[in-house]
Amino acid sequence: MEFRYNRVLLKLSGEALLGNQAYGIDPERVQQYAKEVHNIANAGVEVAIVIGGGNIYRGINAEKTGIDRVSGDYMGMLGTIINGVALQNALEKEGSYTRLMSALSINTVCEDYIRRRAIRHLEKGRIVIFVAGTGNPYFTTDTAASLRAVEMEVDIILKGTRVDGIYSSDPEKDETATKYEVITYNEIFDKELKVMDLTAFAMSKENKIPIRVFDMNKVGNLQKIVEGENVGTLVTS
């Protein structure tokens, strides 16, 4: 089977793993995502994943708890590793071959991130899960996703969310919100739409990597995208 995209980077937020819970990891939701990813990887698409940690700890909110920002960001990075281990376990239950690669050195749990090794894993058909963000405080996992996408030379960034694309305002709060089928990076900046942080968008724009924002919770969406269907919203130059 031929695909529109042969190598993709899937960005999942930590909150996506919550399911209907208020905190932590919903095993059924993680397994659902694993099945979706396994299906496209098994068909021949090379898949890299960057996962957030907001379901466990958001470093950017650390100051509200009296923890300084740098310490909070490192705590958030550790949260992404927990999520990465959970996703790896779910993928391997589906029969996928995976590698967990961390920007922080935790050798008993993950491989250290090395670009050439990561690319080789993808070429061999292994799903590579990138955790611990960029390994630096003050950078979000959105920025980590754009950075890894550039380094892995992917065809597209797929940002899985709980809404079916980018809207003029929050569709969960504003019934008049309008959905964009296609939007440019410049329009994102001009309209100050908060889908990914501006550093992530700027990096993707500079390196001419398109982004597709879609509803990850709808079964089959990931398969449809790699096959070429226009699901969600495409962000392009």
- Stretch 66-91: mean pLDDT: 93
Q: What is the pLDDT of residue 1?
A: 67
Q: Does domain 7-236 have CATH number 3.40.1160.10?
A: yes
Q: Tokens 């099945």 map to which residue?
A: 35
pLDDT confidence tier of residue 16, bands split at 50, 70 and 90: confident
Whether residue 2 has pLDDT greater than 80: no
Compute how many other C-beta atoms are within 10 angstroms of the C-beta atom of residue 207: 13
Averaged pLDDT of the chain? 92
Query: 68-77, 174-183, 205-214: which has the highest mean pLDDT?
Result: 205-214
Question: Residue 32: in which H helix or E strand, if any?
Answer: helix 27-42
Q: Which carries the bigger pLDDT value, residue 15 or residue 221?
A: 221
Whether residue 100 has pLDDT greater than 70: yes
Chain Cα centroid distance, residue 36: 14
pLDDT in tens, 119-129: 999 999 999 99
**CA-closest candidate to residue 145, choices 52, 213, 61, 79:** 52
pLDDT in tens, 102-120: 999 999 999 999 999 999 9
- Return the domain boundaries, the chain: 7-236
Those residues with Cβ within 8 angstroms of residue 186's Cβ, 6 or more apart along the chain or in another chain: none
pLDDT in tens, 51-61: 999 888 765 56
Q: What is the pLDDT of residue 174?
A: 84
Rounded Cα gap, residues 102 and 5, in angstroms = 25
Rounded Cα gap, residues 52 and 132, in angstroms = 8
Output the CA torsion 80→81→86→88 (10° steps): 110
